Amino acid sequence: MCSSDLQPDVIQCYHNVADKSFERSGLKKWVLENQTPTVFFSALRQGLLLGKYTERTEFCVGDFRRNIAGFTDIELLDRLASYAKIAENLLPLEQEPLLSALIAPLIRTSPKSATLIGARNVNQLESISKIQTSVPDAIIRQIKKLYDDIEI
């Protein structure tokens, strides 16, 4: 059997509102054409997209975040914090407007997609449970456009 004959049961890939590699690589087109279920991870980019980092953060040797430039780029951190506030204000009536703004575009990427969202405590799990995915298309477009100039 040639590798081109393989049809995966599911694709798991890195994807978030600030990462366009899923589309640019052609994987999105392939997934949609083949109706292949897709699972996205790193939806919040280890918290960077939440705008919660406001200063350079150094991580211990062995922590994979040590290799992510976004944690040490003050200009990028400032922009991400600003974008997080704008995104949050696009959905003012939601219980978790920022999480909804960051996750809804991913869930709507494909009819057979799911998004993995990491949580480290009960409060984060409760917040995740309040995410709304029925965000209007116009808002989804605004969110995608907002993060269009960032690649992390």
Rg (CA), the chain: 16
Using one digit for the tens of pLDDT, what is the confidence trace for 113-147? 999 998 888 999 999 999 988 899 999 999 999 99
The percentage of residues in the chain with a pLDDT greater than 90, rounded to a whole number, is: 55
pLDDT at 103 over 50: yes
With beta carbons less than 8 A apart as the criterion, state whether 28 and 22 touch.
yes
What pLDDT sits at residue 8?
84
With beta carbons less than 8 A apart as the criterion, state whether 100 and 94 touch.
yes
What tokens does 42 get?
């790193």
With beta carbons less than 8 A apart as the criterion, state whether 125 and 139 touch.
no
Band of residue 22 on the pLDDT scale cut at 50, 70, 90: very high
What pLDDT sits at residue 4?
63
The pTM assigned to this predicted structure is: 0.85
The region that residue 94 occupies, defined by phi over 0 for left and psi between -120 and 50 for alpha, beta otherwise, is beta
Instruction: Name 50's Cβ contacts closer than 8 Å, sequence gap at least 6.
Output: 44, 84, 98, 102
Among 5-14, 71-80, 82-91, the range scoring the smallest mean pLDDT is 5-14
Q: Hey, how many other C-beta atoms are within 10 angstroms of the C-beta on 109?
A: 19
Using one digit for the tens of pLDDT, what is the confidence trace for 53-80? 888 888 889 888 888 888 888 899 999 9
Matching residue, tokens 């944690």? 71
Q: What is the 8-class DSSP label of residue 140?
A: H
With beta carbons less than 8 A apart as the criterion, state whether 135 and 60 touch.
no
Query: Residue 38: what are its φ and ψ, rounded to 5°?
Result: -135, 135
